[in-house]
Amino acid sequence: MTRRGAVIGLMALALLAGAARSQQPNRPAAGKPAVKMYATDWCPYCRKAREYFARNGIPYTEIDIEKSQAAQDEYRSIGGRGVPVILVGSERMNGFSEQRLTQALKAAGY
């Protein structure tokens, strides 16, 4: 295999791994509603939301709307426009605001 072929193969594996990782659900804490984020890899507000979740230990499921048709269909079914769209149970937030997300999570018992 050529070096170029090996690099392309590794890039393909990385993309597949990223798609699989972003689709795996994280279990919400006992008695708390699930948190879900519809996002893209390139979105700076999605990145800020990911950092917020990591910093605060919030389990969430990320759906990358550019990785699969099923993700796009799910995003459209909720009337998604723009990213991120964050759901805390039935509470919906379009875009990212640390203050609003903190309030929604607090109201949900996080």
Q: What is the pLDDT of residue 31?
A: 82
| Domain boundaries, given as residue ranges, for the chain | 22-107
**Of 72, 74, 93, whose CA–CA distance to 84 is shortest?**
93
Cα–Cα distance, 23 to 64 (Å, whole number): 7
The structure's pTM equals 0.74
Q: Which CATH superfamily is domain 22-107 in?
A: Glutaredoxin (3.40.30.10)
pLDDT mean over 55-83: 96
pLDDT mean over 6-35: 55
